[in-house]
Amino acid sequence: METLKLKKPVKIDGAEVTEIKYDLEHLTGNDLEVALQDMKKNGIQVGTIELDPSYHMALFAQAAGIAYEDVKRMSAKDCKNAISAVRYFFIANSEDSSEEEMSDE
Protein backbone atom coordinates (compact mmCIF):
# COMPACT_ATOMS: atom_id res chain seq x y z
CA MET A 1 0.00 0.00 0.00
CA GLU A 2 1.28 3.45 -0.93
CA THR A 3 0.46 6.89 0.47
CA LEU A 4 -0.09 10.07 -1.52
CA LYS A 5 0.86 13.02 0.70
CA LEU A 6 -1.27 15.95 -0.34
CA LYS A 7 0.17 19.44 -0.79
CA LYS A 8 -3.28 20.85 -0.02
CA PRO A 9 -5.84 19.12 2.24
CA VAL A 10 -9.09 17.91 0.69
CA LYS A 11 -12.43 16.96 2.28
CA ILE A 12 -13.36 13.31 1.88
CA ASP A 13 -16.48 11.99 3.61
CA GLY A 14 -16.67 15.20 5.63
CA ALA A 15 -13.14 14.95 7.02
CA GLU A 16 -10.18 17.01 5.90
CA VAL A 17 -7.34 14.69 4.86
CA THR A 18 -3.68 15.41 4.16
CA GLU A 19 -2.78 12.00 2.78
CA ILE A 20 -4.53 9.23 0.91
CA LYS A 21 -3.58 5.56 1.08
CA TYR A 22 -3.99 3.63 -2.16
CA ASP A 23 -3.21 0.12 -3.42
CA LEU A 24 -2.78 -0.27 -7.16
CA GLU A 25 -1.44 -3.84 -6.80
CA HIS A 26 -4.85 -5.13 -5.73
CA LEU A 27 -6.92 -3.59 -8.51
CA THR A 28 -9.00 -6.14 -10.38
CA GLY A 29 -10.53 -6.22 -13.83
CA ASN A 30 -13.78 -5.22 -12.16
CA ASP A 31 -12.10 -2.09 -10.78
CA LEU A 32 -10.93 -1.18 -14.28
CA GLU A 33 -14.49 -1.59 -15.55
CA VAL A 34 -15.95 0.48 -12.69
CA ALA A 35 -13.48 3.26 -13.53
CA LEU A 36 -14.65 3.20 -17.16
CA GLN A 37 -18.28 3.32 -16.02
CA ASP A 38 -17.47 6.32 -13.79
CA MET A 39 -16.13 8.07 -16.87
CA LYS A 40 -19.28 7.33 -18.86
CA LYS A 41 -21.47 8.50 -15.95
CA ASN A 42 -19.60 11.80 -15.96
CA GLY A 43 -19.98 12.16 -19.73
CA ILE A 44 -16.27 11.65 -20.35
CA GLN A 45 -15.21 9.70 -23.42
CA VAL A 46 -12.08 7.68 -22.62
CA GLY A 47 -9.47 7.70 -25.35
CA THR A 48 -6.36 5.59 -24.98
CA ILE A 49 -6.65 4.14 -21.48
CA GLU A 50 -2.88 4.05 -21.00
CA LEU A 51 -2.71 7.84 -21.45
CA ASP A 52 -6.11 9.18 -20.39
CA PRO A 53 -5.74 11.36 -17.25
CA SER A 54 -9.45 11.20 -16.35
CA TYR A 55 -9.35 7.41 -16.46
CA HIS A 56 -6.24 7.43 -14.27
CA MET A 57 -8.08 9.67 -11.78
CA ALA A 58 -10.90 7.12 -11.68
CA LEU A 59 -8.42 4.26 -11.20
CA PHE A 60 -6.74 6.15 -8.37
CA ALA A 61 -10.16 6.53 -6.76
CA GLN A 62 -10.70 2.77 -7.04
CA ALA A 63 -7.23 2.04 -5.60
CA ALA A 64 -7.84 4.45 -2.69
CA GLY A 65 -11.42 3.36 -1.99
CA ILE A 66 -12.71 6.90 -2.49
CA ALA A 67 -15.17 8.44 -4.93
CA TYR A 68 -14.08 9.82 -8.28
CA GLU A 69 -15.60 13.14 -7.15
CA ASP A 70 -13.12 13.20 -4.24
CA VAL A 71 -10.19 12.97 -6.65
CA LYS A 72 -11.69 15.76 -8.75
CA ARG A 73 -11.69 18.03 -5.66
CA MET A 74 -7.96 17.54 -5.07
CA SER A 75 -5.61 20.40 -5.97
CA ALA A 76 -4.21 20.30 -9.49
CA LYS A 77 -0.75 19.37 -8.22
CA ASP A 78 -2.09 16.56 -6.00
CA CYS A 79 -4.31 15.29 -8.78
CA LYS A 80 -1.35 15.31 -11.19
CA ASN A 81 0.64 13.25 -8.66
CA ALA A 82 -2.21 10.73 -8.38
CA ILE A 83 -2.42 10.48 -12.18
CA SER A 84 1.35 10.01 -12.40
CA ALA A 85 1.27 7.22 -9.81
CA VAL A 86 -1.32 5.28 -11.81
CA ARG A 87 0.39 5.92 -15.15
CA TYR A 88 3.77 4.85 -13.77
CA PHE A 89 2.25 1.72 -12.21
CA PHE A 90 0.85 0.55 -15.54
CA ILE A 91 3.83 1.61 -17.66
CA ALA A 92 6.37 0.05 -15.29
CA ASN A 93 4.35 -3.16 -15.06
CA SER A 94 3.93 -3.41 -18.83
CA GLU A 95 7.70 -2.98 -19.27
CA ASP A 96 8.30 -5.70 -16.65
CA SER A 97 5.93 -8.10 -18.41
CA SER A 98 7.52 -7.33 -21.80
CA GLU A 99 10.93 -8.23 -20.38
CA GLU A 100 9.51 -11.46 -18.92
CA GLU A 101 7.94 -12.39 -22.25
CA MET A 102 11.21 -11.74 -24.05
CA SER A 103 13.17 -13.88 -21.56
CA ASP A 104 10.65 -16.74 -22.07
CA GLU A 105 11.45 -16.92 -25.77
Domain that holds residue 92: 2-104
Q: What is the pLDDT of residue 2?
A: 95
Number of domains comprising the chain? 1
For the cut 70, the answer to whether the pLDDT of residue 93 exceeds it is no
* pLDDT one-digit tens code per residue, 46-81: 888 888 999 999 999 999 999 999 999 999 999 999
Asked if residue 22 lies in contact with residue 4, where contact means CB atoms within 8 angstroms, the answer is: yes
Asked if residue 39 lies in contact with residue 58, where contact means CB atoms within 8 angstroms, the answer is: yes
* pLDDT one-digit tens code per residue, 13-44: 999 999 999 999 999 999 999 899 888 888 88
Answering whether pTM is above 0.95, one says no
